[in-house]
Structure 1
Amino acid sequence: MLAGLVPVRAEGAQGIAMHGSPALPAGFTHMPYANPDAPKGGRLIQGILGTFDSLNPLIVRGQAVQQVRGFVIESLMTRGNDEAFTLYGLLAESIETNDARTYVTFRINPRAQFSDGRPVTADDVLFSWELLRDKGRPNHRQFYAKVTKAEALDARTVRFDFGGQGDRELPLILGLMPVLPKHAIDVATFEDTSMAAPLGSGPYRVTTVKPGASVTLTRNPDYWGRDLPVNRGLWNFDEIRLDFYREANGHFEAFKRGLYDYRVENEPSRWHDGYDFPAARGGDVARDSIKTGLPKPSEFLVFNTRRPMFADVRVRRALTLLFDFEWINRNYFFGLYTRSGGFFAGSELSAYGRAADSGERALLQPYLARLPSEILDGSFRLPVSDGSGRDRGALRTALALLSQAGYDLDGNLLRQRGTKIPFTFEILVTTRDQERIALAYGRDLKRAGITASVRSVDGVQFDQRRLNFDFDMIQNRWDQSLSPGNEQSFYWGTQAADLTGTRNYMGARDPAIDAMISAMLVAHDRPDFVTAVRALDRVLMSGFYAIPLYYVGEQWIARWNRIERPAATALTGYLPETWWHRPDRK
């Protein structure tokens, strides 16, 4: 083997890490967060709030059943969920790359096959890459277009070259590429929504579909990869049924009646006092509070800077000051929420409250003049109100910023100085919690002469308007890992600002953001990587693109005790694929 190549073999389960080396040694028998002796059988019913009109999660159109990815459609490699970003062999028997990661070669496991018995080949991998590059979701198109050359070296070996782009994450991104069967895909209709059961190589097959209501996945008894170390103790249920609910209260009431097996709770008031029902009191429902090692998933109110009223950063900063977190947290959420000014809350990647070190300042040197000094020196803090809902200090500071941006109070209305047009905008919401927060925020804005109307729409319309940037302000969450990478361009890179379907909802167009993302992607070791991510966090905070709302430091999971989970929890938190049905329970 050539010097610098990194072997990854399914039999030995050696992997590839974004930084450093994989944690698991060659020859490991199972993932540390899985129970290799977990019993097989039974059924898991998952209740999902929302609807669907497609079984293809790899296209822009439609509301897809996301669980198809992973349960039905596999990738070349799979994540080690106890590590920041490490992959281990799945469809790929081995992976090779060089130290500069200018190319990657995958060798497919000879046992790998689709559920119809046809083998997975290099042609299938190349077909999938080309199809998703040209017709897939925007993130696929953006990432896979970085490949400068792709070729099959033989029937089971495929190589991708990157043309010296300086992006060390690309071998891992290709490792996570969904692999589709060339013989079963109609390229002409791939982008159309469809209820046809997709053909995959994964542990489950789609067997029953009730449009908009439920999807049933049945374990494939001939699944080729059931004995791989990465799969031992996973995929334990014979059947998984996904039941969809249109309304949040009905969704919860169905859980209380035992109509589905577990729920992830996101509402503090419900977690605090909503589980006082007979099954929970009697021990038939267990509640798990799980601490993860990931950045905490924070909620934000997002400014659409494509709208003229939000184009000025002073306006966005003023409106951030007017959000009374203390009042909302105390009156709505029993004080269970925490707040952070950054986008990687509660992790080593966060710049909030940290002074920029010499490495960050070197990266930020071309942009230092326009970054607020308090964000650079770590003294910046989100405002803390007196909790009265009428904090005069925050109001005075906000009005001063708005005056600098060209707005004056005229009686009870804030008007643009030149045009006399009142400052008004719309907050788009889709859940009861979002509506409550928007209405409370609207009350705070009214004290500054700003009129914020709240429009509630169903989930489908909300998603379509969000994807098309057809809103003034929305509530959104960007989930982050301990190894953010190319997806950051998808979240807030310049090229994503006007590309429908990306998650750059705020419309950020900042060369400093693009430069920090590039620095992340070329970092060779973890310390340099952390420095680049903190620098990115600092630039994002400086732009005041979104109002930080809150986060919970734990995952809240409620489950009927007929469902059991391993004693060990992954770094990433709960993983239903590691759970099983207790044989002694119905």
Structure 2
Amino acid sequence: MRRAGGALAGAILGLSGVIPAMAEPSHGLAMYGEPELPADFSHLPYANPDAPKGGTFVTGNTGGFDSLNPYIIRGNVPWQLRFMTVDSLVYRSQDEPFTVYGMIAESIETGPERDWVEFTLREEARFSDGSPITVEDVMWSYETLGTQGNARYLGLWGLIEKMEKTGPRSVRFTFNSDDRELALIVGLRPILKKAQWEGIEFDQPGFDVIPITSSPYVVDSYEAGRNVVLKRDPDYWAKDLPIKRGIANFDELRIEFFGDQNVLFEAFKAGEISFVREFNAEKWDRDYDFPAAQAGEIVKSEISSERPSGITGFVMNTRRAPFDDIRVRDALLHAFNFEYINEAITGGKQPRITSYFSHSVLGMKDGPAEGRVKELLAPFSDVLAPGALDGYTLPVSDGSTRNRANIVAAAELLNDAGWPAGDDGIRRNAAGEALSFEILLRQGDQINQSIIDIYMDALERLGIEASVNVVDNAQYTSRIETFDFDMTDIRRQVSLSPGNEQKLYWGVESADQNGSRNLMGVKNPAIDAMVDAMLASRSSEDFTAAVRALDRILTSGRYVIPIFMYDKGRIAHDAKLKYPEELPIYGDGVYWLPEVWWMDPEG
């Protein structure tokens, strides 16, 4: 990488002072300071402007799909479509903590307090059918997505006080809250073609309407439940813009569907798909010595990253008993023998996630809260979990099979919570109800199923009647969207510039909103207050303190049983696939693979 981690830490912690006002329209906008790239930049630093065009890139999904509209709450859609088939007013750089550059918008203008932002559209901006992208399309897209779209779009609409056309090609958004991030994130929404949806119910799933794209790719064909084919648009309007040089290099993107991860992996070994991401370090070392790899047709690439760990593990639904009791959640964390499980699953090669922002300068510090972090948390001491102020660390086992000390601690916590063990060993409350819950997993998720198989033994020893229900993707999606689960898997990636999305993940308003990402159902005003402090911060020091305070609240709340960290990207791929030597600070992700990769027919 062109930067060491320390350089990034210095960049985040070293910026201070009031965010400068924008006196005139600019080519980009940064959360703090100025954009790294000048107005006359030639291409993104992690893209190869000379990358050849051509070839077919095949990616594999498990399960199936019943819709091609990724913008609504209903339907099971190939997840890649919302990234690959639409452009936004701005494009987010993967090489800066949070900076956007004009995409459909040729310029961005905002006031000193960032309580409004104005975008001027490029005159040449077009949809894939050749029609111009207009201010009317922009305004219709924002209102429709904000009122009928997926839950990920609803929150922003409520923060827009006024949206108005200010010129033939310009639109201004005025905000109703002290939230400096809004000027950046408002430009990242999909822009759809208004005329396509006239007389059509926008929120209905299915294949009747395939959204007209504004991106380098268009949907060329599909076979329901089996595959979707995207073709690169040779007339794509933005192909020569600096922001798009070296991006979208494949002529065809194919999304193929398989029954489960094992079948997908066999297809990869047979050359039917172009790559796999491996999340298990033990399998990475053990299972990639098949004939195609031995022949050099498949190669392995490890991609470093400076992003925070995020949270991956098993989430407990606090909307339901017994997970509405932190003592029960704490007991289940003690019962989870991570050290033994990690050795069994990954050979002990992957570190554990210790907090939501661990592995970064934004992660909470050990010990009691100090300084600005303590100041932020102190007013909420009455609603904070034990350890938020005084310090909290995850339970650690001795690595043995029995995990005896932590099982004893878990039993004591359950006793305190009113779930003593009876003569038959089963734990029951005062009403005689057994302590039982269901663990919901999706079909084909071998890693999580293997982890839960080990965990079930500890739950049985504690006298808990737990069951595992493995369902197909459609059932899983339906149940998750309506919070119809007790415990299930969770993975939330976070960035070096967390912001409004944190309220979608664990904010009060999203807790009971079907389709929201607040799976644990947490309703803690301290969380919203920390996010507000992040968004209102004028310096990176205040911002970092607010994130660390948020990290303490979430981690000490014992909502998730964290597992191992995906500390680097592990990608096995066709040897003909290439990527630039210079990596972005965010490492691997959908905006890097396949965006900046290309096919070298010579291998």
Q: In the alignment, what sits opposite 1:569?
A: 583
Gaps of 5+ in 2: 1-19
Residue of 390, 395, 401 corresponding to 2:407 = 395
Q: In the alignment, what sits opposite 2:370?
A: 357
Q: In the alignment, what sits opposite 1:191?
A: 203
SS of residue matched to 2:277: strand
Residue of 18, 23, 30 corresponding to 2:43 = 30
Cα distance per residue 1:375-427 (max 9 Å; x no partner) = 4344x322221222212211221122222211212134343442122211111
Residue of 406, 411, 419 corresponding to 2:423 = 411
SS of residue matched to 2:396: coil
Q: Scaled by the length of structure 2, what TM-score is found? A: 0.93
- Tell me how far apart the structure 2 counterparts of residues 396 and 444 of structure 1 sit (CA, whole Å): 11
1:198 CA displacement: 1.8
Q: In the alignment, what sits opposite 1:260?
A: 273
2:596 aligned with 1:578 = yes
- Tell me how far apart the structure 2 counterparts of residues 352 and 325 of structure 1 sit (CA, whole Å): 21
Change (3 A) 1:187 1:471: farther
Q: In the alignment, what sits opposite 2:344?
A: 331
Q: In the alignment, what sits opposite 1:204?
A: 217
SS of residue matched to 2:469: strand
2:489 aligned with 1:497 = no
Q: In the alignment, what sits opposite 1:424?
A: 436
1:370 CA displacement: 5.2
Q: How many correspondences in the alignment?
A: 577
> Does the 8 Å contact 1:297/1:552 carry over to 2?
no
Note the 1:259-278 alignment, pairs <5 A: 259-278=272-291
> Does the 8 Å contact 2:377/2:389 carry over to 1?
no
> Does the 8 Å contact 2:283/2:346 carry over to 1?
no
- Tell me how far apart the structure 1 counterparts of residues 440 and 225 of structure 2 sit (CA, whole Å): 24
SS of residue matched to 2:427: strand
Cα distance per residue 1:64-97 (max 9 Å; x no partner) = 1233334321100001100111100100001111
Residue of 154, 159, 175 corresponding to 1:146 = 159
Q: Which amino acid aligns with 1:424?
A: S
> Does the 8 Å contact 1:104/1:159 carry over to 2?
yes
- Tell me how far apart the structure 1 counterparts of residues 253 and 165 of structure 2 sit (CA, whole Å): 36
- Tell me how far apart the structure 1 counterparts of residues 313 and 25 of structure 2 sit (CA, whole Å): 39
Cα distance per residue 1:275-300 (max 9 Å; x no partner) = 11011112211111111111124422
Q: Which amino acid aligns with 1:439?
A: D
Q: Which amino acid aligns with 1:525?
A: S
Note the 1:222-371 alignment, pairs <5 A: 222-351=235-364, 353=366, 355-369=368-382, 371=384
SS of residue matched to 1:161: strand
Cα distance per residue 1:454-474 (max 9 Å; x no partner) = 111112211211111101100
Q: Which stretch has the larger CA shift, 266-275 or 364-373?
A: 364-373
Gaps of 5+ in 1: none
Q: Scaled by the length of structure 1, what TM-score is found? A: 0.95
2:464 aligned with 1:436 = no
Cα distance per residue 1:425-473 (max 9 Å; x no partner) = 1111122222221121111112211121111111221121111110110
Note the 1:27-66 alignment, pairs <5 A: 27-66=40-79
Note the 1:86-105 alignment, pairs <5 A: 86-105=99-118
> Does the 8 Å contact 2:387/2:556 carry over to 1?
no
2:22 aligned with 1:5 = yes
- Tell me how far apart the structure 2 counterparts of residues 420 and 151 of structure 1 sit (CA, whole Å): 61
Q: Which amino acid aligns with 2:415?
A: S
- Tell me how far apart the structure 1 counterparts of residues 23 and 295 of structure 2 sit (CA, whole Å): 53
> Does the 8 Å contact 1:54/1:64 carry over to 2?
yes
SS of residue matched to 1:368: helix
> Does the 8 Å contact 2:120/2:169 carry over to 1?
yes
Q: Which stretch has the larger CA shift, 486-495 or 390-399?
A: 390-399
2:566 aligned with 1:548 = no
Q: In the alignment, what sits opposite 1:110?
A: 123
Change (3 A) 1:186 1:246: farther
Residue of 471, 476, 483 corresponding to 2:490 = 476
Residue of 520, 525, 528 corresponding to 2:539 = 525
Change (3 A) 1:578 1:269: same
2:185 aligned with 1:173 = yes
> Does the 8 Å contact 2:385/2:557 carry over to 1?
no
> Does the 8 Å contact 1:8/1:16 carry over to 2?
no
> Does the 8 Å contact 2:192/2:211 carry over to 1?
no
Cα distance per residue 1:154-181 (max 9 Å; x no partner) = 2210011113x10111111211011111
Q: In the alignment, what sits opposite 1:182?
A: 194
Percent identity between the two aligned chains:
42
